[in-house]
Amino acid sequence: MPRYIDYMISPYPLRIITIPIDPSKLKLQSLFIHNVGHLPGRTSFRHDSKFTKWAFIYLAGGKGTYQVNGGIVQRVERGSLLFLRPDVPYNYGPDANGYWDEYYFTFEGSRIEEWLNSWLTDVDIAKQVGSEDATQFNRIERIFLLMESGLADNIDRAALLLESLLFEFILKAQVPAETTKTQQVITLMDDLGASLFETFDAASVAKRHHISVSTLRRVVSEYTGYPLNAYIHRLKMAEAKNILLNTNNSIKEIADSLGYKDVFYFSRLFKKYVGDSPHIYRNKMQL
């Protein structure tokens, strides 16, 4: 379970989730997350702080400074990505009488060395990765929920999702400020994929991406070959199959988790797209 704490760090409650199981129980030993946290309205500044594990910080709001090992003082603001390496002194935090809204992730594993040898470079330089992307916030929240679950498989999933999130951050830091049409479509499709566990609302999705519902329908049809609603149902049914085979959740619980309040409607859709009812599919695949 997360801990909601009110320290001198911020005037608001902090959300901090520490890995709830022994890391030796994880299947993925090359990368695992120790803890994640959301520090809204952080006001404290850290001086000469050292850490024993890797971490990165994403600023969702506010501004301040970031200094690595006595080097140049870098200005950072909303949308900045900061890295903290083990055994290196850092001075960082919001401006005096100011604040910032911080998400942090602490992790370790041999996979980090692979990143450093390929796509993760210049880790002592703060990077601007943007702040208006609904997809990245969905990924962040899913990492928090997976960690909170306490299940080993979910914590492994959280680590893989963290790698994906970080990779996307680095890609965004490398592209020009003007997002291309293709990148806009990728962001839109990522957003649709991240909205599996809620009732689908086309108007809300269109609003987040500053397009009309008719444009949303056209884009999805062009890039997937399916009408918008059919595409969303296909995504949800694919996830339903995964849940059916990997949990003991009831059909009603699965329907609710995927945003279907009517379990009979969910079952009809499942049979339409999969070919069997949820009960028959689960029994058949577990034989």
* Domains defined for the chain, CATH in brackets: 3-174 (2.60.120.280), 181-285 (1.10.10.60)
- Report residue 22: phi and psi, to 5°: -65, 125
Q: What is the pLDDT of residue 2?
A: 42
What's the burial of 154, exposed, middle or buried (CB within 10 Å: 0-12/13-18/19+)? middle
pLDDT at 181 over 80: no
pLDDT-based confidence at residue 176 (cuts at 50, 70, 90) = low
pLDDT at 164 over 60: yes
Q: What is the mean pLDDT of the chain?
A: 89
Query: Distances from the Cα of 179 to the Cαs of 165, 174, 227, 232, in angstroms?
Result: 18, 11, 25, 25
Residue 25 to residue 33: CA distance in whole angstroms: 13
pLDDT at 3 over 50: no
* Partner residues linked to 105 by β-bridges: 36, 56
Q: Which distant-in-sequence residues (6+ apart) come within 8 Å of 237 by Cβ?
A: 269, 270, 273, 274
Q: What is the pLDDT of residue 28?
A: 93
pLDDT at 69 over 50: yes
User: pLDDT for 19-68, tens place per residue?
Assistant: 988 999 999 999 999 999 999 989 999 999 999 999 999 999 999 999 99
pLDDT at 6 over 50: no
pLDDT at 4 over 90: no
CB 126 within 8 A of CB 169: no
Q: Is this prediction's pTM over 0.85?
A: no
pLDDT at 134 over 80: no
